[in-house]
């Protein structure tokens, strides 16, 4: 499964925090792994692809795959990422 940012959110990273804003004034602040996942998720990616991008920044723990999946699920619960439809599907936007 690929994950993607929801299009209505824009971000800025300031002093290590990633701040998200959506039309209508909704805001979120991300830190730690959630912020890193958001930043590398510029295009739809699988968990393995996100882990690969994060690994490019240095040594990673053995359980990074599980941590990234948990971060993506939490970001989805907060409405800032979503599963990406498969290419060619009717839901593709």
In degrees and rounded to multiples of 5, residue 36 shows phi and psi of -65, -40
- Report the alpha-carbon distance of residue 68 to residue 71 in Å, rounded: 5
pTM (2 decimals)? 0.86
pLDDT tens digit string along 34-90? 999 999 999 999 999 999 999 998 888 889 999 999 999 999 999 999 999 876 655
Q: CB-based contacts of 73: which residues, under 8 Å, 6+ apart?
A: none
28 contacts: CB under 8 Å, gap ≥ 6: 9, 19, 20, 78, 80
Domains and CATH numbers, the chain: 2-78 (3.90.930)
Q: Is the pLDDT of residue 92 over 80?
A: no
Residue 21 has pLDDT above 50, yes or no: yes
């Amino acid at each position: 499964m690929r994950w993607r940012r929801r299009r209505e959110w824009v971000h800025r990273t300031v002093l290590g925090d990633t701040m998200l804003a959506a039309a209508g004034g909704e805001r979120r602040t991300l830190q730690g792994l959630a912020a890193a996942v958001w930043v590398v998720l510029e295009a739809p990616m699988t968990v393995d692809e996100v882990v690969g991008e994060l690994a490019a920044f240095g040594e990673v723990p053995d359980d990074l795959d599980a941590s990234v999946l948990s971060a993506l699920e939490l970001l989805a619960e907060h409405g800032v990422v979503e599963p990406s439809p498969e290419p060619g599907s009717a839901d593709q936007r």
